[in-house]
């Protein structure tokens, strides 16, 4: 697809002016994994079994891997996964936005990541409120933010203290196109979603076998509608594997 605009070169120097973690440890994830998790607890940020691709998606609020262009093969979670333990400045619960900025700085400093952005029109799913209204549980004040995803035959997403925008990003990982938040919901929510992935084969005994579209509508009171929208594409200009520490 044709790029219609090129904007904003992001360098390590520019990112250095933004927030940064006080300390951060990056290690290759060892052995098999049972979950992929991103948790914020006070100033502590814990990231488990993420590929570089996933780190970039979270840092830049991308909704699916097709929004990343270029980069080496090891960026995929199928090649190398990382565990990150970091401490943010201050003592309170860090906001998702501040953590994203710190993660960008970490990627620039430790992965030597340099990128630029372009915009393309692509098919998307719009996340909207279903006819009977949302079925989302409002998070308790000061609740820790976390996202955990896993499962094979039965897929599951468990999220705490997240926005509808963050939910849309997470839903994109199980679909064939990006999900764009058009719910208009401004709160923070606790979300639990279960469905049967299309690639998983016949549903297990006792399962109702709902797909992700039905699950989103029945369990969350939201709906995924096919649309077209201008989507940001992040082009990788340079990246390196970090040293282990």
- 87-129 residue pLDDT tens: 998 876 667 788 999 999 999 999 999 999 999 998 999 999 9
Report if pTM > 0.75: no
pLDDT at 152 over 90: no
pLDDT at 205 over 80: no
Confidence bin at 151 (pLDDT 50/70/90): low
Tokens 């699950």 sit on residue = 215
pLDDT at 2 over 50: no
What range defines the domain where residue 56 resides? 5-238
pLDDT at 71 over 70: yes
- Whether residue 243 lies inside any domain: the answer is no
Between 44 and 77, where is the model more confident? 44
- Whether residue 244 lies inside any domain: the answer is no
- Whether residue 189 lies inside any domain: the answer is yes
Q: What is the pLDDT of residue 21?
A: 93
Q: What is the pLDDT of residue 153?
A: 67
Q: Residue 114: which of 18, 19, 20, 12 has the closest Cα? A: 12
- Whether residue 19 lies inside any domain: the answer is yes
Q: What is the pLDDT of residue 161?
A: 92
Between 152 and 44, where is the model more confident? 44
- Whether residue 184 lies inside any domain: the answer is yes
CA-CA-CA-CA dihedral for 63, 244, 38, 212, to nearest 10: 50
Lowest mean pLDDT among 27-31, 129-133, 149-153, 178-182: 149-153
User: What total number of domains does the chain contain?
Assistant: 1
- Whether residue 245 lies inside any domain: the answer is no
- Whether residue 227 lies inside any domain: the answer is yes
What is the rounded average pLDDT for all residues in the chain? Answer: 84
**Sign of torsion over alpha carbons 69, 75, 78, 81:** negative
Q: What is the pLDDT of residue 1?
A: 36
Percentage with pLDDT > 90 across the chain:
53
Rounded Cα gap, residues 197 and 185, in angstroms: 27
Lowest mean pLDDT among 6-10, 32-36, 130-134: 6-10
Give the other-Cβ count within 10 Å of 88's Cβ. Answer: 23
Between 137 and 9, where is the model more confident? 137
């Amino acid at each position: 697809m044709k790029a219609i605009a090129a904007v904003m070169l992001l360098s390590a120097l520019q990112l250095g002016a933004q927030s940064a973690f006080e300390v951060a440890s990056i290690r290759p994830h060892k052995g098999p994994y049972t979950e992929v998790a991103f948790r914020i607890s006070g100033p502590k940020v814990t990231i488990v079994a993420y590929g570089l691709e996933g780190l970039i998606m979270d840092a830049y609020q991308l909704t699916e891997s097709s929004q990343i262009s270029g980069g080496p093969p090891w960026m995929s979670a199928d090649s190398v996964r990382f565990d990150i333990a970091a401490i943010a400045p201050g003592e309170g619960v860090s906001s998702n936005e501040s953590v994203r900025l710190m993660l960008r700085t970490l990627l620039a400093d430790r992965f030597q990541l340099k990128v630029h952005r372009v915009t393309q029109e692509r098919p998307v799913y719009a996340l909207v409120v279903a006819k009977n209204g949302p079925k989302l549980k409002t998070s308790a004040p000061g609740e820790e933010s976390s996202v955990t995803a896993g499962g094979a035959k039965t897929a599951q997403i468990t999220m705490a203290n997240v926005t509808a925008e963050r939910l849309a990003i997470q839903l994109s990982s199980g679909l064939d196109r990006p999900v764009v938040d058009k719910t208009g919901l401004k709160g923070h929510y606790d979300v639990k979603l279960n469905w049967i992935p299309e690639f998983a084969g016949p549903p297990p005994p006792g399962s109702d076998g709902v797909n992700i579209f039905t699950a989103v509508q029945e369990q969350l009171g939201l709906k995924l509608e096919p649309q077209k929208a201008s989507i940001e594409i992040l082009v990788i200009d340079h990246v390196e594997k970090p040293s282990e520490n």
